[in-house]
Amino acid sequence: MSLISKVQQPDSNGRIQHVTPESAGWEYVGFDAYLLKKGQTLTLSSGEKELCLVLVAGLASVKTRHAEFPNLGKRMSPFERTPPWSVYVPHHDEVQVTADSDLELAVCNAPGSGNLPARLITPEDVGVERRGKGRNQRLVHNILPDNKEADSLLVVEVYTDEGATSSYPSHKHDEKESADETYLEETYYHRFDPEPGFAMQRVYTDDRSLDECMAPYNRDVVTVPRGYHPVATLAGYDNYYLNVMAGPVRLWKFTWEKDHAWVNSDEYPRSR
């Protein structure tokens, strides 16, 4: 089964990506991306899932059964590097999105079971942090981290400059019965500036029973069912990715690959 979902031409609803638990061969995470024209309306039913709608680029008005969130958005490109506007939608709800400009919309989903209301996640609600050292630095926007209310979903976006690495040192979160990790499936929705760029992403396990290296291009999705999953950018192209994670326990807990953990320590950078 391929771990990369290539971007498609928009269908009648504007959808360009459609990753389901069935297509990914796992249990929890689903992901869709849409390119909507100004004035276009998209209607979705959450069913047994909770949703997190992320305005990757553009303006929108969002309405659920019990709440309205008009005139959302400010950034017209994710590479403005300002936190996005997002909307959390619980299970057994309906949502209507009207594009107030051309709109790039991500719809993240995972099992929903609680009684949380629909809510707006403003840019001010998003935690901003910088991680890493040297050529392993990145900017992180925590849209729906594990300290914010949701049933299953974890959502974060990450910026990595040209020639740098991210999701590194290599780490994994694939053990269901571990004191050191939580089992979390994960998708990467990649964007590049300029758009013709690509990155290198490797997904691999300690025993190498899974070991794949991919070159995601603009708006491709990489699925990570298990194992380590570092990303390396190429000279000339900055990278953005939107991560969606979910599993049986809503907690981001991971372990480093032992050989490379030093890169995140005081030993780095070090003289060669």
* Identity at 268, one-letter amino acid code: Y
1 pLDDT above the threshold of 90: no
Q: In this predicted model, what pLDDT tens digit does every residue of 98-145 receive, in sequence order?
A: 999 999 999 999 999 989 999 999 999 999 999 998 899 999 999 999
- Who wins on pLDDT, 177 or 217? 217
- Residue pair 32/80 in contact (Cβ under 8 Å)? The answer is no
pLDDT of 269 reads 67
SS3 123: helix
User: Tell me: the pLDDT tens digits for 160-204?
Assistant: 999 999 999 999 999 998 999 999 999 999 999 999 999 999 999
Tokens of residue 153, six digits: 């979903």
Residue of 228 and 265 predicted with greater confidence: 228
Could you report how far apart the first and last alpha carbons of the chain are, in Å?
40
Whether the CA torsion 220, 4, 142, 198 is positive or negative: it is negative
Instruction: Enumerate domains of the chain plus CATH numbers.
Output: 13-260 (2.60.120.10)
- The count of residues in the chain is 272
In whole angstroms, what is the distance from residue 207 CA to residue 170 CA? 14
Report CA torsion sign: 242, 243, 246, 252: negative
pTM of the model: 0.96
As beta bridge partners, residue 90 has none
Say how far apart CA 193 and CA 78 lie, in whole Å. 9
